[in-house]
Structure 1
């Protein structure tokens, strides 16, 4: 705006001046015209001459241009830094989200594998029987062992499990652990409901669970025996006779 005003003043001076006489301070209008004296071409009372205007306007314009360029450069640098900072923050947030998602996926996979291990086959095949047993089969056998021989030596507990396995393999009894145990008139705890109560509450012992696992794996201290009781004949283990 300042340069613009100076430029207007310059053009006014050029327009109004008709004759330039070196050494003169001013020019007068024609006699009788009543016009005021035109603007001096020399500096007078702080005003700018034509020469000064022509010299100063380009300098100030260049100065303003440089200033504007410096401001634009500074603004560019500030904006660039802000964009870089924003990009770094977004990258950090994305990496954190990916890390949390990976941890959640890993935890979910571990939980799935653990659940699968508990619900699927716990014991694959017994060593000599070729009988596939699930986790439910093992817990059912453990509950029966606990009910029938929970107060007997460990060998006697394994022997009860071996009797069940012998029946499964025999062909004379049902061919699954569950059907053998729940066959009518065979095992007292199954007929009275005590077995189901122990099974539902998980009341069997760790010892009974281990004995069931050993029996499923082929451990058999009673050979081909398929019955046991408190009689006086057969293989005695603890209070039971196996025959």
Structure 2
């Protein structure tokens, strides 16, 4: 009888403990989801803040970056244009200088040729007479009846004796002309003309007389 009472008491205690355990476990189980919800809510809030910040910052950065890129592109384009302009000006300057050198060289050759024929034809004549011979040559260059270059006029067949005999070439190659003939050639090339439109000169008896020559 006593053993039966003790057994019943143990069963009662175990039952009560089981109830407490079940109740605690149920409460804990009920409380755990609520805690997760709170934690999840906080985490979601933080994530949203980060997301908002992340979205806001890139907008500013994108504007700044775009402006920087555009400024750099403009600078790059301006630099390219500046270099292209400098290159264009350099080429134009070089071309201009080249033409000036060629013109100066050609002018020097013309002057030497003119001085040579003046020396051969009028080296013993007064300075005005030497310039007059050069003026005849220039008049012929401008005339449609004669070739349109100094060399072609001087070397035209049957026109100037020294050109046909070879004397002109010897004087020219040796630079045997005088400084007076060289200056007379320079003046004639520059436009000095004491004879007007005359196309011929000789030692005949008519025309404009300068020294021993008559120009007509």
Q: How many angstroms does 1:103 deviate by?
A: 0.9
Residue 45 (structure 2) pairs with residue 59 (structure 1): yes
Q: Which residue of 1 aligns with 2:131?
A: 158
Structure 2 residue runs of 5 or longer lacking an equivalent are: 1-18, 144-151
Residue 74 (structure 2) pairs with residue 72 (structure 1): no
Q: How many angstroms does 1:199 deviate by?
A: 8.0
Partner SS, residue 219 of structure 1:
coil
Residue 79 (structure 2) pairs with residue 93 (structure 1): yes
Q: How many angstroms does 1:226 deviate by?
A: 1.8
Higher relative contact order (CA 8 A, sep 6+): 2
Q: How many angstroms does 1:151 deviate by?
A: 7.4
Q: Which residue of 2 aligns with 1:182?
A: 163
- Give the TM-score taking structure 2 as reference length: 0.54
- Is the Cα contact below 8 Å between 1:143 and 1:195 reproduced in 2? yes
Q: Which residue of 2 aligns with 1:18?
A: none
- Is the Cα contact below 8 Å between 2:116 and 2:172 reproduced in 1? yes
Q: Following the alignment from structure 2 to structure 1, what is the Cα–Cα distance between the partners of residues 82 and 136? A: 58
Q: How many angstroms does 1:96 deviate by?
A: 0.7
Q: How many angstroms does 1:69 deviate by?
A: 1.0
- Is the Cα contact below 8 Å between 2:129 and 2:213 reproduced in 1? no
Q: Which residue of 2 aligns with 1:242?
A: 213
Residue 172 (structure 2) pairs with residue 195 (structure 1): yes
Structure 1 residue runs of 5 or longer lacking an equivalent are: 1-26, 43-47, 123-134, 170-174, 229-234
Q: Following the alignment from structure 1 to structure 2, what is the Cα–Cα distance between the partners of residues 158 and 28? A: 141
Q: Following the alignment from structure 1 to structure 2, what is the Cα–Cα distance between the partners of residues 211 and 69? A: 85
Q: Which residue of 2 aligns with 1:226?
A: 202
The one-character-per-residue Cα deviations of 1:131-184 (angstroms, maximum 9, x if unpaired) are: xxxx96664223332466567543121244467789999xxxxx9312424122
**Structure in which a larger fraction of residues adopt helix:** 2
The one-character-per-residue Cα deviations of 1:46-76 (angstroms, maximum 9, x if unpaired) are: xx93463254233222211112112322331
Aligned-residue CA RMSD in angstroms?
5.1
User: Which one of the candidate residues 161, 185, 195 is aligned to 1:208?
Assistant: 185
Partner SS, residue 165 of structure 2:
coil
Q: How many angstroms does 1:114 deviate by?
A: 3.9
Q: Which residue of 2 aligns with 1:3?
A: none
